[in-house]
């Protein structure tokens, strides 16, 4: 909310503080509203350029009145979209408030609401407003930046979490490919070390790594780089309905809960792991002729892989135990389920909320 103090020393004119449209450290453009109660159209005003004085107060810049211009002289004042929006929104609120409450002698405090949040965000997103936005951001205090960053981070997370939860039953692999390409930072949450997104679908074993150009090679869904060591990492995705563990147990009595009740892994899962290992093997083999050329900042000293498949919550407790034992044995490569990735996003969201 923004408070404006109106001032009036008579029954007619009432001065409203200037509306700041454009401002630097030493100059600014303002619109000075004036409420003339005796008129049928009481709200009026004019633009003024002001300069900051040595006493840190704003003073009007000298100007010629229009009546003083010569025949071929004139004024030109251009406003950016954000400036027009601020002006119209403030004038509309001032007009509505004073029309409703009327003239008042002396001082009066008007409590104005902010510009519509949706309009503000649209204005920030416009490339034409970049310089204005940067100038205003530079004036923010550090705590304002922290609050703004937290709000943006939380909004981004909530949006992604909503999409993720809505599609947790979506079994279309191409949807998840496009979704993670749109929000590649999600993949950074599944690694134990910092990673840098390099590319989406990447062809390994052909003439180049741009898409599936060639035959007999292998394509990984995502290619990343270890932010510390520089070695590449690959991510292979399946779908949330990918089978992790078969229904029948391998040893022991099914659903007994005994310690000897163990399960083998489903072929869809083991096939995905072999596919992941094969992609890493091929990438190392073709590294110098392919990946090193397309991504010279990466190396193949300690490559890793991640498989995202299935849902952990779909397993029984004993199935989960066998699944956990299996992925623990994989060493540097990891398996994450879709609901585990979603849980990581929700945990990150709680950090912003706190």
For the chain, the farthest-separated pair of C-alpha atoms sits apart, in whole angstroms, at 102
The pLDDT value given to residue 240: 94
**pLDDT tier at 1, thresholds 50, 70, 90:** very low
pLDDT at 319: 93
Cβ neighbours for 339, distance < 8 A, ≥ 6 positions apart: 168, 240, 311, 312, 313
Residue 198: pLDDT band by 50, 70, 90 thresholds? low
Mean pLDDT, rounded, of the chain: 77
* 42-49 CB contacts, 8 Å cutoff, 24+ apart: 42/98, 42/99, 43/91, 43/94, 43/95, 43/98, 45/16, 47/77, 48/18
Q: With 50 as the cut, is the pLDDT of residue 200 above it?
A: yes
Of residues 257 and 123, more confidence is placed in: 257
Confidence of residue 325 (pLDDT cuts 50, 70, 90): very high
DSSP state of 116: P
Mean pLDDT to the nearest integer, 174-193: 83
Radius of gyration (Cα) for the chain, nearest Å? 32
Is 186 within 8 Å of 193 (Cβ atoms)? no
Note the pLDDT of residue 211. Answer: 46
Query: In which band, very low, low, confident or very high, does the pLDDT at 315 lie, cut at 50, 70 and 90?
Result: very high
Q: What is the DSSP letter of 199?
A: E
pLDDT tens by residue, 43-68: 888 899 999 988 888 999 887 777 77
Classify residue 122 by burial, with Cβ atoms within 10 Å: 0-12, 13-18, 19+. middle
List the one residue out of 194, 193, 213, 195 whose CA is nearest residue 203: 213
Q: Is 60 helix (H, G, I), strand (E, B) or coil?
A: strand
How would residue 137 be classed by pLDDT, with cut points 50, 70 and 90?
A: low
C-alpha dist (Å) from residue 19 to 31, 89, 150, 211, 218 = 5, 10, 29, 54, 62
- Give 338-352 pLDDT, tens digit per residue: 999 999 998 888 877
Q: Single out the residue of 85, 94, 91, 149 nearest to residue 119, CA to CA.
A: 85
Q: Is the pLDDT of residue 40 over 90?
A: no
Whole-number Å distance between alpha carbons of 346 and 226: 24
Burial of residue 274 (CB within 10 Å: 0-12, 13-18, 19+) is: exposed
């Amino acid at each position: 909310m923004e408070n404006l103090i109106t001032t009036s020393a008579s029954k007619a004119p009432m001065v409203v503080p200037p509306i700041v449209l454009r401002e630097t450290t030493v100059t600014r453009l303002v619109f000075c509203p004036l409420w003339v109660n005796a008129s049928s159209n009481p709200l009026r005003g004019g633009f003024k350029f002001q300069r900051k004085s040595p006493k840190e107060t704003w003073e009007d810049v000298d100007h010629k009145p229009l009546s003083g211009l010569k025949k071929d002289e004139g004024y030109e004042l251009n406003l950016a979209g954000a400036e027009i929006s601020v002006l119209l929104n403030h004038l509309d609120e001032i007009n509505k408030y004073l029309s409703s409450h009327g003239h008042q002698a002396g001082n009066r405090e008007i409590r104005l609401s902010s510009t519509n949040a949706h309009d503000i965000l649209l204005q920030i997103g416009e490339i034409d407003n970049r310089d204005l936005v940067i100038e205003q951001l530079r004036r923010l205090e550090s705590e304002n930046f922290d609050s703004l960053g937290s709000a943006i981070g939380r909004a981004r997370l909530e949006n992604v979490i909503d999409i993720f939860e809505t599609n947790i039953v979506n079994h279309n692999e191409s949807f998840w490919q496009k979704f993670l390409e749109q929000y590649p930072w999600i993949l950074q949450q599944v690694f134990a070390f910092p990673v840098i997104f390099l590319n989406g679908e990447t062809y390994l074993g052909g003439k180049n790594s741009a898409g599936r150009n060639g035959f007999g090679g292998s394509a990984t869904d995502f290619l990343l780089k270890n932010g510390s060591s520089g070695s590449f990492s690959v991510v292979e995705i399946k779908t949330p309905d990918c089978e992790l563990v078969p229904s029948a147990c391998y040893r022991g009595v099914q659903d007994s809960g005994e310690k000897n009740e163990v399960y083998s892994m489903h072929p869809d899962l083991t096939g995905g792991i072999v596919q992941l290992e094969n992609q890493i093997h091929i990438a190392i083999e073709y590294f110098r002729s392919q990946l090193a050329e397309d991504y010279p900042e990466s190396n193949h000293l300690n490559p890793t892989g991640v498989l995202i498949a299935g849902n952990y919550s779909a397993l029984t407790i004993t199935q989960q135990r066998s699944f956990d034992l299996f992925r623990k044995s994989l060493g540097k490569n990891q398996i994450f389920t879709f609901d585990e990735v979603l849980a990581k996003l929700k945990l990150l969201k709680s950090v912003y909320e706190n």
